[in-house]
Amino acid sequence: MGENTVVLEALGDEYFQDPHAIHAAMRVKGAARQVVLPRGLKVWLVTRYDEARTALADPRFSKDYTGFQPLFERHYTGESTPGLADQSLAKHMLNTDPPNHSRLRKLVTKAFTARRVEQLRPRIQQITDELLDAVAGQRDVDLIEALAFPLPITVICELLDVPLSDRDDFRRWSNILVGGYEPDRIQEAGTAMAGYLSNLVDDKRANPGDDIFSAIVHATDDNDRLDHEELIAMAFLLLVAGHETTVNLIGNGVHNLLRHPDQLAALRADRTLLPHAIEEFLRYDGPVNQATFRYTTEDVTLGDITIPEGEFVLVSLSSANRDDRRFPDGETFDITRPPGGHLAFGHGVHYCVGAPLARLEGEIAVGTLLDRFDVTSAAEPETLQWRASTLIRGLHTLPVNLETRGPR
Ligand code: HEM
């Protein structure tokens, strides 16, 4: 090994089980560090709050997917270079910079405002009630399978009018695409997903309904009209966001309540705390660990570090959200702390479009679960398995015991 060779910290599979411990150690050392991710990609990981917030909003960190592939080739240290799963899945707003980003985002923002989303409340409540009716009377329940997964996926499939019957295929592809699998499997899932969505776009073109997806396909303003690949990518982004995120707001949230009985008791005693609790679920153990790919278009100084041009920069939202510099006692789960300021939905122009929907689903799911059942954990925390993804922080299963609550 040459004198100048720097040995980078390699994050192993243990990172998936407990990223928080590794982030805490990294925050002590600096604002950002170069690391090798578990599947071999060299990136800069931003771990402190101020620098994370800056990096999320600074245009010198580009998200333009056309620049990704050469960087994958340059920074991958494993055997076969990962790439975009399928080109036609890539042209979505989270992979573009303004002005193209603004053009794509404008088409959906109106559908997801807090006011529009509030109109979905009765339907979200109904789906939640039906899902919980189905497990009432059972003692051993996997909360992911029973509630956390089916609720958000049913809602987003209804909003886009996508057949629920296809959801097992879709879930499998989606999990592979965000789950850090081998490049071959990612490619295969990407091709299958793109083919499926392409048919769906054709179907919406021929048989429009009054759903959001049909509205986007048929947007009449010439400047707004999306090409076939942009339509596929838009559907992909909305459906994957619907599959992979809110499930873990509910799953991680209930998991943390069960691990902190004093917090669960506080919430039961004062139900007005529920919106605060949702914000604390997001801050303490949010669904997105590392935000999506960004890369430097020039040398950028971030805190005490200069990141050269042409490097991948991943912002760890999970780490920023536990930074004591911003959140006193950041490693403590406290549903009574003043809400706000966390980065779980990102920051800047790419701030999550679905935040109001996710919050509403989270509140209805957790509120109704606690109203109807006494919930206790049915597994030791160390036996629970976390998803092997650097993007998503979520449990494979959450075994609980449910006891129907009597009238109080
Ligand atoms: C608790 C649940 C959710 C969390 C934690 C979450 C988190 C995030 C984050 C962190 C980003 C920005 C990523 C980055 O800058 O790299 C983002 C963007 C986005 N999210 Fe969510 N999300 C959630 C639910 C949803 C839902 C339900 C939808 C569907 C409507 C959605 C749609 C989007 C879209 C379209 C973007 C891209 C926005 C843009 O590029 O301008 N999200 N989300």
Residues 189-247: pLDDT tens digits?
A: 889 999 999 999 999 999 999 899 998 888 765 566 788 999 999 999 999 887 889 99
Q: Whose CA is nearest to atom 9 of ligand 1?
A: 345
Task: Tell how far the Cα of 56 is from the centroid of ligand 1, in angstroms.
Answer: 13
In angstroms, the CA 196 to CA 212 distance is: 18
Average pLDDT, the chain: 92
Q: Give, for ligand 1, the residue of 279, 352, 357, 366 to mutate: max count of ligand atoms closer than 8 Å to Cβ.
A: 352
In angstroms, the CA 87 to CA 128 distance is: 36
Phi and psi for 138 in degrees, rounded to 5? Answer: -90, 140
> Dihedral, CA atoms, 174, 179, 185, 188, nearest 10 degrees?
20
* Segment among 124-128, 178-182, 280-284 with least mean pLDDT: 178-182
CB of 291 closer than 6 angstroms to any ligand 1 atom: yes
From the centroid of its chain, how far is CA 372? 28
Task: Tell how far the Cα of 354 is from the centroid of ligand 1, in angstroms.
Answer: 6
Instruction: Report the share of the chain in percent with pLDDT over 90.
Output: 73
In tens, the pLDDT along 141-171 reads 999 999 999 999 999 999 999 888 888 888 8
Which superfamily, per CATH, for 9-404?
Cytochrome P450 (1.10.630.10)
**Adjacent-strand bridge partners of 322:** none
Angle at 74 between CA 23 and CA 53, to 5 degrees: 35
Task: Tell how far the Cα of 1 is from the centroid of ligand 1, in angstroms.
Answer: 43
* Segment among 83-92, 163-172, 262-271, 321-330 with least mean pLDDT: 83-92
Alpha carbon separation from 80 to 39, 77, 130, 178 (Å, rounded) = 10, 9, 46, 18
Q: Ligand 1 atom closest to Cα of 108? A: 35
Indicate the domain borders of the chain. 9-404
Mean pLDDT throughout 343-367? 97
Question: What Rg value do the Cα atoms of the chain yield, rounded?
Answer: 21
Describe the crossing of helices 167-178 and 228-244 by its angle, rounded to 10 degrees. 90
Cβ neighbours of 133 (radius 10 Å): 10
CB of 347 closer than 6 angstroms to any ligand 1 atom: no
pLDDT value of residue 166? 84
Phi and psi for 296 in degrees, rounded to 5? Answer: -80, 135
CB of 93 closer than 6 angstroms to any ligand 1 atom: yes
| Range list of H helices, 4-63 | 14-17, 19-29, 49-57
Cβ neighbours of 116 (radius 10 Å): 14
Q: Whose CA is nearest to atom 21 of ligand 1?
A: 352
Token pair 């499939």 is found at 157
Q: Whose CA is nearest to atom 26 of ligand 1?
A: 354
* Segment among 165-169, 253-257, 374-378 with least mean pLDDT: 165-169
Q: How many residues are there in the chain?
A: 408
CB of 127 closer than 6 angstroms to any ligand 1 atom: no
CB of 346 closer than 6 angstroms to any ligand 1 atom: yes
pLDDT value of residue 224? 64
Token pair 């902190």 is found at 260
In angstroms, the CA 340 to CA 288 distance is: 17
Alpha carbon separation from 126 to 20, 57, 121 (Å, rounded) = 36, 38, 9
3-state secondary structure (DSSP) of residue 24: helix
The verdict on whether omega for the bond into residue 308 sits within 30 degrees of 0, i.e. cis, is no
What is the per-residue burial (b if ≥16 Cβ within 10 Å, else e) of 371-398? ebbebebbbeeeebebbbbbbbbbbeeb
In angstroms, the CA 360 to CA 124 distance is: 8
